[in-house]
Amino acid sequence: MIMVRIGGSSVTFKPVRLTIWNEFIRERQDPNVTKIYPNGIHAALANGLAPYGFEIRTATMDQPEYGLSNEVLDQTDVLIWWGHLAHEQIPDETVNRLQTRVLQGMGLIVLHSGHRSKIFKRLMGTTCELKWRKAAERERLWVVNPAHPITEGIGEYFVVQPDEAFGEFFDIPAPDDLIFISWFQGGEVFRSGCAYYRGLGKIFYFRPGHEEYPTYYNKTVLRVIANAVRWAATGHGAEPQNINQPPLEKFINANGQTIG
């Protein structure tokens, strides 16, 4: 909790409560992946994001209620999602709760293969399918919206090497803010950083992070994710009231009646 004085009154800034969710399967099954992420991708992200001052917790699919109980979500301002093999194991009831939370204002950062998660597809309303190739190639991510806070400190572009390649067509709705476009050595391009507003919630899809490569130790990748967490945690306006709205001003209608 940080307290500052502004114009004689005190304003309190609470640290962002970040939950890093990971299915945590391949890191425990495949020795090549275990070598890179011995304690799981969630632990590597928690370590890498620790300097940014978030209140971090991790959650994994083997925990009660898939790590996504209401108690956990009650203490989550922003949820990071990494999943690949087990998308279909998340029950629709959980997806319904997550969707409601996002519409009510919880931030959601969907990483890499999370493009096929139920929650991302639900929020997008499309298949979210794409092309892919595992060839340990170079990816260059170009900033295409330098006014956006997610690009702070990133420069004009940055390189991730090696990583899996993704290619268009990426079946998503046109992003509300398109922030990064990737180029890959093999020739593809890809919309790698896509921001959306859904209800009161902010969503960011960020492409890098195949589990067979050490992408989540890359300081620039971590900076983008930290920027995205801050952006997704920013406040929002009043919850809209969906009511039969009485007039706010008195007026005479087309029938000559005074209304209000």
Question: Shortest distance, CB of residue 181 to Zn ion, whole angstroms?
Answer: 19
Q: Does residue 210 bind Zn ion (CB under 5 A)?
A: yes
Helix axes 41-49, 219-232, angle to 10 degrees: 80
CB 190 to Zn ion: min, Å? 13
Q: Based on the shown chain and the rule CB under 5 A, indicate whether residue 202 belongs to the binding site for Zn ion.
A: no
Q: Does 182 bind Zn ion (CB under 5 A)?
A: no
CB 213 → Zn ion: shortest distance, Å? 9
C-alpha–C-alpha distance, residues 3 and 224, integer Å: 27
Contacts of residue 231, Cβ cutoff 8 Å, sequence gap at least 6: 107, 148, 149, 150, 195, 202, 204
Judged by CB under 5 A, does residue 26 bind Zn ion? Answer: no
Site size toward Zn ion, by CB under 5 A:
3
Told to check if 164 binds Zn ion by CB under 5 A, we report yes
What residues have CB less than 8 Å from 136, skipping those under 6 apart?
162, 163, 213
Please tell me what DSSP assigns to residue 28.
Answer: H
Q: Which one, 113 or 151, has the nearer CB to Zn ion? A: 113
Using the minimum distance from each CB to Zn ion, give the nearer residue, 29 or 257: 29
Please report, as ranges, the residues that interact with Zn ion according to CB under 5 A: 113, 164, 210
